[in-house]
Chains A and B, each alone.
Chain A
């Protein structure tokens, strides 16, 4: 399969990328790892006339601790998150979710910024960022703005990132030693999650719960968190996992099956992460 014709420009800097986006408007797309975009282009579901390659910009490949947080450059590969000793120690939930994305070759190319901006609710990293209350830093012609992960994901494949903006950084809290769990049910090892569950013990000892593929956006299972806060035991709290969610029905399972799976996996993940104990 061959994509429709387009022009390719390698941005020389972030400023250059922003200038190119401004110049080409909605005709342009950013190319990072290309592992969502290139398949879409091969199927001709996307046919941008200009690709602006930002995959080689060193300013997007930074990883730095800052004030109890980790600031991750959007151009880091999923493989970088999986293997980075700093991420593994400071945000082990993110490292574990990264290690379960796609397969080794996919993780070697795909970027964290790419999977976030693509906004697929079946992807693992976005649900983890919602669970971690991550902050997303966007750069546009008017400067930088910051959005919470909850604000960023708007709808299926739709985010708050403007056509003239670049996601530059993802800020996650460093939580070394806090308990966590990532549960992912899939039919084959490299599949997307039928349902996934991320649980993170927060700095104040509560448990945040996020769900993969249970709604048009990566989903925060607040009813589970509320139940735990009011003293519910794990099985009872997990029973609220699908509350308010809108799981899709497809070949891998209908929405009722997904709702059941979310409860089972949430109970498992909460237990692993030490909730209710």
Chain B
């Protein structure tokens, strides 16, 4: 069965008819052409598909599009504005937080979500905070340094902060 779904993705409101079983990651990649969000393990382990959904980082391979109806999504494509990288993106550039780049969009979005929760994380907290994102190249050290760099240079960034303040229902 098909359903009409309205999603605000990177600030743009989209209306599409989707199958019940369509996963959010496929909606983003195939319907909207936002291929920055990657499919890695497809079993909610690796975190390559991480996006912000209503203010928090989630694995879009384990969310049905229809279940996100009415929600707001921020993907890696929505972070930089007018070519200006966010502190997290710039941190990965400055500290060489990537090699092959496959995990990077998920890492960047996940780190952005972490900094929204915890603006000044210790290296230990960054390692724990990114435990849902696997990288097979870097050994993580440079990623931790990249996120720490971001924390010292402006944090999650204005777009992510605005996204959260608009969407997060808060903790009961």
Binding stretch for chain B, among A5-13, A204-212, A253-261: A5-13
Q: Which of A21-59 contact B (CB under 8 A)?
A: 31, 34-35, 38-39, 41-42, 51, 53, 55
| Neighbour of B63 across the interface among A5, A34, A104, A190, CB < 8 A | A34
Contact A63 B56 (CB under 8 A): no
Contact A38 B64 (CB under 8 A): yes
Once bound together, how far apart are the Cα atoms of A106 and B130, in whole Å?
12
| Neighbour of B21 across the interface among A4, A39, A53, A190, CB < 8 A | A4
Contact B21 A105 (CB under 8 A): no
Contact A108 B67 (CB under 8 A): no
Contact B132 A102 (CB under 8 A): yes
Contact B44 A35 (CB under 8 A): yes
Q: How many residues of B contact A (CB 8 A)?
A: 33
Shortest CB–CB separation between residue A43 and chain B, in angstroms? 8
Most buried by A among B42, B43, B57, B171: B171
Once bound together, how far apart are the Cα atoms of A39 and B61, in whole Å?
9
Contact B132 A2 (CB under 8 A): no
B45 interfacial contact with A, CB 8 Å: yes
A189 interfacial contact with B, CB 8 Å: yes
For residue A108, which residue of chain B has the nearest CB?
Answer: B56
Most buried by A among B23, B59, B113: B59
Chain A residues with Cβ below 8 Å from B75 are: none
Once bound together, how far apart are the Cα atoms of A80 and B169, in whole Å?
11
Once bound together, how far apart are the Cα atoms of A254 and B47, in whole Å?
29
Q: Which of B27-70 contact A (CB under 8 A)?
A: 42-45, 47, 50, 56-59, 62-64, 66-67, 69
Once bound together, how far apart are the Cα atoms of A6 and B23, in whole Å?
13
Contact B172 A55 (CB under 8 A): no
For residue B60, which residue of chain A has the nearest CB?
Answer: A105
| Neighbour of B172 across the interface among A39, A41, A62, CB < 8 A | A62
A144 interfacial contact with B, CB 8 Å: no
| Interface size range of chain A in the complex | 35 or more
Contact B20 A105 (CB under 8 A): no
Chain B residues with Cβ below 8 Å from A103 are: 47, 131-133
Contact B44 A8 (CB under 8 A): no
Contact A105 B172 (CB under 8 A): no
Chain B residues with Cβ below 8 Å from A84 are: 171-172
Chain A residues with Cβ below 8 Å from B63 are: 34, 38, 109
**Between-chain CB contacts (< 8 Å), 21 pairs:** A1-B42, A2-B21, A5-B20, A7-B1, A8-B3, A10-B67, A31-B67, A39-B62, A42-B43, A76-B172, A80-B171, A84-B171, A102-B132, A103-B131, A104-B114, A104-B129, A105-B110, A106-B44, A108-B56, A108-B58, A189-B131
Which 10 pairs between the two chains have the least Cβ-Cβ distance?
A: A103-B132, A8-B20, A63-B172, A189-B131, A108-B56, A7-B1, A105-B132, A103-B131, A3-B21, A105-B59
Q: Which residues of A contact B (CB under 8 A)?
A: 1-8, 10, 31, 34-35, 38-39, 41-42, 51, 53, 55, 61-63, 73, 76, 79-80, 83-84, 102-106, 108-109, 189-190
